[in-house]
């Protein structure tokens, strides 16, 4: 290694080192500590605790019905969020890219929700669902809007989905727009000359050539959907009852909100990590394989 290359490598290390230290302190070390505590009965307060082996994991699956319900609700949310957010974002990207004018304006309009804090925007939606929509139902013919948007478990799920899609499509839309702009124009023109319909353009040209963007967007929505907390907490608080409680809320409740079973909560967190890891690995592997085939 020459002196110049060694100096360049040392400079690169200096730039990377602060970020690596922060990553090590705030992510890697806590992850290993959580893994260690998941095999204990530590309450998060006392210095003394005992090892309980895999009993925390066994309890989570065999005896904790609230945790199983949270897993099922989270799975339902993840499936709907991934499908709806990506479908809406791709549709918006295609519609905006098909326009000749005002592309920047529409990009700004649909990206604006991403510029707001999740808590602030969610409280805004709480006001809409609790005050504005009931008023519309009362003073108009739209009587079908007179439902408990935040108090009915079935309806509140779709309320959460509306807010989730509204706040989540902006970034995905920009990624899809960038990918669509990279499609060679001569392919589109050749397909139009051959008489291809919009459906054929989407299936045989657009989707195969933006497969890399699909992989990225689905990966992002999978991770964010599994780890959702603030949106659901601000909208429904996990209620009514535990009807809309996600895994992250169940873990926090176990660790801090009266139960103080930090070791048991750590075991649940490890289960969540393994679920996310396995599903994202499968998703990336399958999508990358399809990218190669395309």
The string of pLDDT tens digits covering residues 26-75 is: 989 999 999 999 999 998 888 888 999 899 999 999 989 999 999 999 99
Domain that holds residue 140: 64-293
Beta bridge partners of 40: 51
Q: Is residue 192 part of a domain?
A: yes
pLDDT exceeds cutoff 70 at 294:
no
Q: Is residue 42 part of a domain?
A: no
Q: Is residue 44 part of a domain?
A: no
Q: Is residue 190 part of a domain?
A: yes
Confidence of residue 260 (pLDDT cuts 50, 70, 90): confident
Q: Is residue 24 part of a domain?
A: no
258: domain CATH number?
Answer: 1.10.3720.10
pLDDT exceeds cutoff 70 at 293:
no
In the block, residue with structure tokens 């599994």: 226
Whether residue 170 contacts residue 111, with contact meaning beta carbons closer than 8 Å, is answered with yes
Q: Cis ω on the peptide bond leading into residue 125 (within 30° of 0)? A: no
Mean local confidence (pLDDT), 14-25: 91
pLDDT exceeds cutoff 90 at 270:
yes
Q: What is the number of domains present in the chain?
A: 1
Confidence of residue 248 (pLDDT cuts 50, 70, 90): very high
Q: Is residue 68 part of a domain?
A: yes
Mean local confidence (pLDDT), 171-188: 89
Beta bridge partners of 51: 40
Q: Is residue 162 part of a domain?
A: yes
* Interaxial angle between packed helices 153-181 and 211-226, expressed in degrees from 0 to 180 and rounded to the nearest 10: 150
Q: Cβ contacts of residue 133 below 8 Å, gap of 6+?
A: 145, 149
Q: Is residue 5 part of a domain?
A: no
Whether residue 230 contacts residue 246, with contact meaning beta carbons closer than 8 Å, is answered with no
pLDDT exceeds cutoff 90 at 284:
no
Please tell me the predicted confidence (pLDDT) of residue 292: 59
């Amino acid at each position: 290694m020459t002196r110049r290359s060694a100096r360049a490598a040392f400079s690169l290390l200096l730039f990377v080192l602060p970020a690596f230290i922060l990553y090590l302190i705030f992510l890697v070390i806590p992850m290993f500590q959580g893994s260690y505590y998941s095999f204990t009965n530590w309450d998060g307060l006392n210095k003394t605790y005992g090892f309980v082996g895999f009993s925390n994991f066994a309890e989570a699956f065999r005896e904790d019905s609230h945790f199983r319900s949270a897993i099922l609700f989270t799975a339902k949310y993840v499936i709907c969020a991934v499908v709806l957010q990506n479908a809406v974002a791709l549709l918006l990207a295609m519609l905006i890219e098909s326009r000749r004018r005002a592309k920047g304006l529409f990009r700004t309009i649909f990206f604006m929700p991403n510029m707001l804090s999740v808590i602030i925007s969610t409280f805004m939606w709480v006001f809409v669902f609790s005050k504005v929509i009931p008023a519309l139902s009362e003073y108009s013919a739209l009587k079908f809007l007179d439902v408990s948007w935040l108090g009915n478990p079935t309806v509140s799920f779709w309320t959460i989905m509306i807010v989730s899609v509204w706040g989540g499509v902006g970034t995905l839309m920009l990624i899809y727009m960038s990918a669509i702009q990279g499609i060679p124009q001569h392919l589109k023109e050749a397909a139009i000359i051959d008489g291809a319909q919009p459906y054929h353009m989407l299936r045989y040209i657009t989707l195969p050539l933006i497969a890399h963007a699909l992989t990225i967007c689905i990966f992002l929505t999978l991770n964010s959907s599994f780890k959702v907390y603030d949106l659901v907490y601000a909208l429904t608080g996990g209620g009514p009852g535990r009807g809309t409680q996600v895994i992250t809320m169940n873990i926090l409740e176990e660790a801090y909100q009266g139960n103080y079973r930090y070791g048991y909560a750590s075991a649940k967190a490890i289960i969540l990590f393994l679920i996310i890891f396995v599903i994202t690995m499968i998703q990336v592997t399958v999508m990358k394989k399809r990218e190669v085939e395309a």
